[in-house]
Amino acid sequence: MQRKLSLSWRLTSYFALLSASVLLVLNWVITASVEQHFVAQDRDILSSKIAQTFERVSGISDDQSLARLASDLSFMFANHTDISALVMTKEGTVLFKTDTAVIPIEQLTRALNDSVVDSFMWHDDKHSYRGFVQDVTPAYSHLGTLIILTALNIDHHTRFMSRFKQQLLLYSALATLVSGLLGWLAAKRGLRPLFLMRDQALNVTAAHLEQRMSVDSVPVEIAGLAQALNDMLSRLEDNVTRLSQFSSDIAHELRTPLSNLMTQTHVALSRPRNIDSYRDVLISNAEEYERLSRMISDMLFLAKADHGLVLPTYEPINLRAEVDNIVEFYELLASEKQVSIHVTGNGYIQGDHLMVRRAISNVLSNAIRHSYDNSEIQVVIQPKLGVIDLSVSNAGDTIPEKDVPHLFDRFYRADKNRTKNDMNGVGLGLAITQAIVVSHAGSMKIESANNRSTFTLSFITPQSEP
């Protein structure tokens, strides 16, 4: 497998590539500017010869002046071996040409026919030339428009530009290397907070989840990442703590019935007994088995809820009818404490019939167990905008404020005063109820004050009631 480049090398490569691109563009601008400077300089050098040649050619008025043109221009350029000149018609007929340079007449003619040419550059075997082109119409109209080319040997310019370009490329390459080195150092220094975060992350283990990334000592761009990691570690620490507590609670809750089963069994086997004694032991063991079965079933249900509980069925549910049936079932239990149950309101939801019944049963049975004797439980079904609230309110000991946030935790029980008569429960009822409500896209809340507690289940209202 090909090894991926590190972030430092990627940043260094991008920075070096960007620097090289900028330097190449700068080289092109500088080279073009120097070239333009030499063009202007050559034009200044030839300006007097250009003006004199233009004056002589434009002054041709007859055959005699035309005949003198070659001798006049030869005399004018005789002492300037680095300057060349050409006078010709647009058709390519040469009227005058110096012998100081080989002028590519055909190439010049094609260039003039293709476009408007102001300057013309060419090379022969040994030298380079730059010429400036002019159109002139002499007084002798028989000739028509003439072309004047005045050229200068630019070998010294060519040699200078060749060396200049080489040195410029060399310096640019060195500058790119230096920029790459500086970019690498800057990347290493800039990424140092990430390396520190890596070292801190390596110290995080299941036994040391209290480690946190430093937020104040890192750049703003990384502070968000550090905070996100800290939030993730907080969630992990909370989940691991809850899982550890959950495992401890499971062991504790399972140990009690298993211990009872083992004790009763060993006692029954310690000596011979009659059939009725064995029957009593088996009945007691069956109760413990039933408790174990119910506990395991509840834990499996919550495990499914942790992975996204899927509703087995999805059908219209008449909340009032469900509550009435559940109240009828719990009438005997309520009558033992002389507790009355009063139901008001009506409403429909969509969901799983058995799961909703279980959630309501858990809340109502919990209210009966913790109600004062000779008190009343109020069940209110109240449709609101988009939701239906089902509230179960009972008179009983106020739930301590510190316990309210934990009532939905698994195996959690409030203070002993509230749970002294609840020895059969294992602390999973409210956790299951909340899981059921959440699976129906609802929510659940608890309010407890002045010796009255209210559990509210909120369900989403269906689009149309049946």
Residues 14, 372: Cα–Cα separation, whole Å = 75
321 and 455 part of one domain: yes
Domain total of the chain = 3
271 and 392 part of one domain: no
Q: Give the end of a domain, one of 145, 164, 183.
A: 164
pTM, two decimal places: 0.50
Three-class DSSP labels, 70-94:
HHHHHHHCCCCCCEEEEEEECCCCE
Q: Establish if 32 belongs to a structural domain.
A: yes
Residue 192 contacts by C-beta under 8 Å, 6 or more apart in sequence? none
Q: What is the pLDDT along the chain (466 residues), one digit of tens a residue?
A: 455 667 778 888 888 889 889 999 999 999 999 999 998 998 898 888 888 888 888 888 888 888 888 888 888 888 888 888 999 888 888 888 888 888 888 888 888 877 777 888 888 878 899 999 988 888 776 778 888 999 999 988 889 999 999 999 999 999 989 988 888 888 888 777 777 777 777 777 777 777 777 777 777 777 778 888 888 888 887 777 777 766 776 676 677 678 878 888 888 888 888 888 888 888 888 877 887 777 777 677 666 666 665 566 778 889 999 999 999 888 888 888 899 999 999 988 888 888 888 889 889 988 998 899 999 999 999 998 888 999 999 998 888 888 777 777 766 655 444 444 444 455 677 888 888 888 888 888 899 888 899 999 998 877 555 5
Which CATH number belongs to the domain containing residue 436 in this structure? 3.30.565.10
384 and 351 part of one domain: yes
Q: What is the DSSP letter of 414?
A: -
384 and 451 part of one domain: yes
Residues 461, 384: Cα–Cα separation, whole Å = 8
Instruction: Supply the pLDDT for residue 306.
Output: 63
Q: Establish if 350 belongs to a structural domain.
A: yes
Task: Count how many Cα atoms sit within 13 Å of the Cα of residue 16 in the half-sphere of its side chain.
Answer: 17
Instruction: Supply the pLDDT for residue 394.
Output: 92
Which CATH number belongs to the domain containing residue 28 in this structure? 3.30.450
Q: Which two tokens stand for residue 215?
A: 């937020």
Q: Give the end of a domain, one of 141, 164, 187.
A: 164
241 and 338 part of one domain: no
- Using DSSP's 3-state secondary structure scheme, residue 381 falls into strand
Q: Establish if 179 belongs to a structural domain.
A: no
Q: Establish if 187 belongs to a structural domain.
A: no
Residues 24, 241: Cα–Cα separation, whole Å = 60
347 and 441 part of one domain: yes
12 and 152 part of one domain: yes
Q: Give the end of a domain, one of 123, 139, 164.
A: 164
Whether the CB-CB separation of 426 and 253 falls below 8 Å is answered with yes
Q: Establish if 358 belongs to a structural domain.
A: yes
DSSP string, 312-349: S--EEEEHHHHHHHHHHHTHHHHHHTT-EEEEEE--EE
Closest CA to 317 of 213, 179, 145, 442: 442
Cα 206 to Cα 212, 226, 233, 235, 237, distances in angstroms: 13, 19, 10, 13, 8
Q: Establish if 212 belongs to a structural domain.
A: no
101 and 15 part of one domain: yes
Residues 130, 42: Cα–Cα separation, whole Å = 8
Tell me the per-residue pLDDT of 208-228, one tens digit each, with 9 for 90 and over.
777 777 777 777 777 778 888
330 and 441 part of one domain: yes
270 and 319 part of one domain: no
338 and 301 part of one domain: no
Task: Count how many Cα atoms sit within 13 Å of the Cα of residue 244 in the half-sphere of its side chain.
Answer: 8
Q: Establish if 237 belongs to a structural domain.
A: yes
Q: Establish if 466 belongs to a structural domain.
A: no
Domain enclosing residue 376, as ranges:
315-460
Closest CA to 227 of 214, 210, 240: 214
242 and 362 part of one domain: no
Residues 376, 334: Cα–Cα separation, whole Å = 10
Which CATH number belongs to the domain containing residue 236 in this structure? 1.10.287
